Amino acid sequence: MMSSAPPPEPPAGAGDDDMESARAAASEYALLAVSDPETEAEPAATSLIPGSAPTYVSYLVTSVRRGDPAQRRHAVRRRFRDFVTLADRLAEAFRGYFVPPRPDKNTVESQVMQKDEFVAQRRAALERYLWRLAEHPAIGPSDELRVFLQAEGKMPLPGSTDVASRMLDGAARLPRQLIAGEEAVAAPQDVVQPAKGGRDLLRIFKELKQSVVTDWGGVKPPLVEEDREFLEKKEKLQEWEQQLTGPGFESRSPRIAQARAEALVKAQQDMGETMGALGLAFVRLTKLETEEAMYDSQRIRAADSRRVATAAVKASRACRDLNAQTVKYLDTLHEHLSIMLSVHTAFSDRASALLTVQTLMSDLASLQSRIEKLEAASSKIFGGDRARIRKVEELRETIRATEDAKFCALREYERIKENNRSELQLLDRERKEDILVMLKGFVTSQAAYAEKIVDGWETVAEETSGYSRGTNNTPSYMD
């Protein structure tokens, strides 16, 4: 459905800090929202017991494209399976890019958590996922994302065939490939996708053989990764990931950033709870002193206890607020750790494309060697061997097809390399910006709340300053 009403302000999912807001403002969309979860019955689902048919949760996905003169609002219903299909299509169409990872299915959490709480968390995660896609300079304006957000009805992108079906299809084709030579050479449109799909088992076996020969046989492949700049950046990213996810709490180990951040959050939470418990204890003491007060000194102590209780409660609230701010800023570490999943996938795309090129080049060398042997054998026979000559012509035809496939595979490899290069530059820039914003916000919030807590206790110290002027630490007015 569509409407021309002006869009509301971007939701919180667009980014809470200035850096994320700037990226959202530069995206293709002025509004992206996931809301209104509804439980629906599976289509064509039947059950012998009324009310026990399988169900799923769908979400209302609302979007408004930036720069649309009519400010049309598109609203479509999507289920989690549709988000999975979108992620699969983006992985195929944007090989070599750091495609933001989709939220996990979290089957265990869906069974342990309350349904409403689980649905609320998934809704927020899906909305953030869409914003990350929209903020990506290549994926944001893509047709895949536009169709997902605007096409009404069921998700128009076809779902991926399951792995078992692809493997069965590939197993059925394998005998014909080995015996009859049917489609022994991968088609140019197939080599631009990884062999892991399973439809072409012969290609999988060839690439596995090439990988084993290269890694274990010590044979140098016809083409190797020679981009030193890429290899250096890849190594630095691995070190960065280790800094985030390194082992335990060894005092000299610097590779524990995320663990230290979690420990800080836990310590601040404990401080807030302790301050709250202290405030409650002084509230009870104040009540006891007030109820049983017979002398002015008891009433004075009760008033002082009330001041301490108030300051402790305020300090507890400040600690809770500070902890929320700390989680907000230090969550940047978790965000960049999740980005590393996309980085590994993009690098895997690059390695897979290189392996495809290496395999095709090895196939060409093997075919050429076979031709030379057949020609040498045929030349020893007067008038030539017609069977060998015919086989040579068939091999030359196979070489031409393999050359075409190699050209497409090499072009795909170069495209993925360029995508890696641009994404590494973007990631490096965004990481520096995010870390700077994180540190600035973290330090500012720590200083502000520390000052607030100190001011509260200084006020208590001034109000009870009479204790320091008295004899034996008792106020002069209690002598």
Residues 308 and 446 in one domain: yes
Residue 217 DSSP class: S
Instruction: Provide DSSP, 404-439.
Output: HHHHHHHHHHHHHHHHHHHHHHHHHHHHHHHHHHHH
Paired tokens of 310: 């108030």
Of 369, 372, 367, 364, nearest to 406 (Cα)? Answer: 364
Residues 457 and 365 in one domain: yes
Look at the chain and report how many structural domains it folds into. 2
CA distance linking residue 328 with residue 335, whole number of Å:
11
CA torsion through residues 406, 411, 414, 416, sign: negative
pLDDT digits (tens, 9 = 90+) for 127-179: 999 999 999 999 999 999 999 999 887 765 554 555 555 555 656 665 655 56
Pairing of strands 73-79, 55-65: antiparallel
Of 85, 75, 80, nearest to 32 (Cα)? Answer: 75
The four Cα atoms 317, 322, 323, 328 give a dihedral, to 10 degrees, of: 140
Say which residues have a Cβ less than 8 Å from residue 223's Cβ, sequence separation at least 6.
354, 357, 358, 361
CA distance linking residue 124 with residue 35, whole number of Å:
9
Q: CA separation (Å) from 378 to 45, 268, 370?
A: 67, 84, 12
- End residue of a domain, out of 158, 181, 212: 158
Domain that holds residue 151: 20-158
- Regions of the chain with pLDDT less than 70: 1-21, 44-53, 106-113, 155-189, 195-199, 217-218, 246-256, 382-384, 468-479
Paired tokens of 271: 């401080």
Q: What is the pLDDT of residue 186?
A: 67
Q: Which amino acid is at 130?
A: L
Q: Is residue 107 in a domain?
A: yes
Q: Is residue 170 in a domain?
A: no
Residues 448 and 332 in one domain: yes
Which CATH number does the domain housing residue 402 bear?
Answer: 1.20.1270.60
Of 182, 185, 205, nearest to 195 (Cα)? Answer: 205
Q: Is residue 217 in a domain?
A: no
Q: Is residue 227 in a domain?
A: no
**Mean pLDDT (the chain, rounded):** 81
Q: Is residue 281 in a domain?
A: yes
Q: Is residue 207 in a domain?
A: no
Q: Is residue 186 in a domain?
A: no
Say which residues have a Cβ less than 8 Å from residue 6's Cβ, sequence separation at least 6.
71
Residues 151 and 240 in one domain: no
pTM: 0.76
Pairing of strands 2-3, 29-41: unpaired
Pairing of strands 2-3, 55-65: unpaired
Which CATH number does the domain housing residue 99 bear?
Answer: 3.30.1520.10
Q: Is residue 315 in a domain?
A: yes
What is the CB neighbour count within 10 angstroms for residue 30? 22
- End residue of a domain, out of 125, 158, 191: 158
What is the CB neighbour count within 10 angstroms for residue 38? 13
Please give the distance of CA 243 from its chain centroid, rounded to a whole number: 18
- End residue of a domain, out of 95, 128, 158: 158
Residue 36 DSSP class: E
Say which residues have a Cβ less than 8 Å from residue 274's Cβ, sequence separation at least 6.
none
3-state secondary structure 355-378: HHHHHHHHHHHHHHHHHHHHHHHH
Residues 258 and 373 in one domain: yes
Q: Is 419 left (phi over 0), alpha (psi -120 to 50) or beta?
A: alpha
